[in-house]
Amino acid sequence: MKRQSVLQQLKMNNLLFAKGDLIHVPQSVIMYGSSVSSGKIYVNQKPMLAIFVNYKGEGLAEVVMNGQKWLVKNSDIFLNKE
């Protein structure tokens, strides 16, 4: 299998995102302020698109959605297929 297709397959299976990737955030995903200690929590009311920034510890990813940085569980986000 070519390297390109392996990387694409990892991305589609939610295992590898690169900075700047357009990602899908499903409805009802819980998002935390850019630092968990900030106490800011948001429950996504409808499916949205966000930009992946980087991975954080404890299975979290930092994303930008609607101009704000959020932390979200890696398992809750997916590469936008369109």
pLDDT for 1 equals: 46
pTM: 0.77
CA dihedral 81, 72, 68, 80 (to 10 degrees): 0
Structural domain of 46: 3-79
DSSP 11-63: HHTTS---TT-EEEE-TT-EEEESSGGG--EEE-SS-EEEEEEEEETTTEEEE
Which residue did the predictor score with more confidence, 32 or 2? 32
CA Rg, the chain, in Å?
13
Query: What's the structural domain count of the chain?
Result: 1
Report which of residues 34 and 17 the model is more confident about: 17
